[in-house]
Structure 1
Amino acid sequence: MNASRKLVIGAAALALTVGGVVAVSSASAEPREAARAAVTTTAWAKVAANGAVQGSSGVSAIRKFGIGRYNIDTYGDLGNCALLGTINTNDGSDPGPGSSSILVGKVGSNTLFIRTATPSAGGTAAVDSDRPFSITIVC
């Protein structure tokens, strides 16, 4: 064992003996991806089937403009964000028959288009159906 290695080991042992902390750092010890891994929910909304807002944050407006069709404006830019949507129940009651679907898409720098449907229903409800939903925007 060379003298410099003995010195480092001795210093570490002394620091631990007197209650100190030994920290070893390297620029390559933490991958660059880990530093970018932090994400933030920038906006969310819970919306009733009729377009009424039941709760939200980071959302400036919600407009229902057709059966199962909604636009949601946010305060921030949606570029490079994950857009998540789900059909809800209203206070524990089933909002409709069978399966449900939701489409969430970006139509502007800060505007989302939401389309809800009940695919198992017959007629036009299979294409568009007013359904309560929640959206989350994660950037």
Structure 2
Amino acid sequence: MNGTKKLALGAAVLALAIGGSVAASTVSTASTASAGTREASHAAVTTTAWAKVSANGQILGGQGITGINKFGIGRYNISTSAGLDRCALLGTINTNGGSDPGPGSSSILVGQVNGNTLFIRTATPSAGGSAAVDSDRPFSITIVCA
């Protein structure tokens, strides 16, 4: 990846991380009959919702989140105010200011349950026993839609 592409990618990630919007470009592989060139179309991409959640399911900050249900060890459902179709669902484990010393590795699964509900599952793969499957971990999610 050349320097210009890295800079553009870095700017897009930064804009999304702070709740901004980014113009994304997709390229069609359909060729025009006369020129044989590719056509480009542009779509606006926006962070529609985000949340920072403690291990016990408390929302520490966010936007576009209408509720959270912690229903098991490392299992959470999060409701949003907007639909999730055509959205990217991003999640990461975090430390919430250093309050989660946890073992070395962690994982998160983010999936869509229905039109406006996410399922989050957190785990600590480097732990022994049942914690390797599910463990309460603090996490952040971002929902980016076209």
Q: Higher mean Cα deviation, 85-94 or 64-73?
A: 85-94
The corresponding residue for 2:84 is: 78
The corresponding residue for 2:45 is: 39
Determine whether 1:99 maps to 2:105. yes
Cα distance in 2, alignment partners of residues 95 and 81 from structure 1: 32
Q: Which amino acid aligns with 1:113?
A: F
Q: Tell me, yes or no, if the aligned pair for 2:100 and 2:137 is still in contact at 8 Å.
A: no
Cα distance in 2, alignment partners of residues 95 and 80 from structure 1: 35
Structure 1 residue 98 displacement after superposition = 1.4
| TM-align CA RMSD | 1.1
SS in 1 for 2:131: helix
Q: Tell me, yes or no, if the aligned pair for 1:59 and 1:72 is still in contact at 8 Å.
A: yes
Structure 2 gaps, min length 5: 1-38
SS in 2 for 1:125: helix
TM (norm. structure 2) is: 0.71
Cα distance in 2, alignment partners of residues 91 and 57 from structure 1: 20
Q: Tell me, yes or no, if the aligned pair for 1:95 and 1:132 is still in contact at 8 Å.
A: no
Structure in which a larger fraction of residues adopt strand? 2
1:58-77 to 2 correspondences below 5 Å: 58-77=64-83
Q: Tell me, yes or no, if the aligned pair for 1:43 and 1:138 is still in contact at 8 Å.
A: yes
Structure 1 residue 93 displacement after superposition = 4.1
Cα distance in 1, alignment partners of residues 101 and 143 from structure 2: 24
Structure in which a larger fraction of residues adopt helix? 1
Cα distance in 2, alignment partners of residues 108 and 48 from structure 1: 23
SS in 2 for 1:49: coil
Aligned length: 107
Determine whether 1:112 maps to 2:114. no
TM (norm. structure 1) is: 0.74
Q: Which amino acid aligns with 2:79?
A: D
Of 87, 99, 102 in structure 1, the residue corresponding to residue 93 of structure 2 is 87
Identity of aligned residues (%): 76
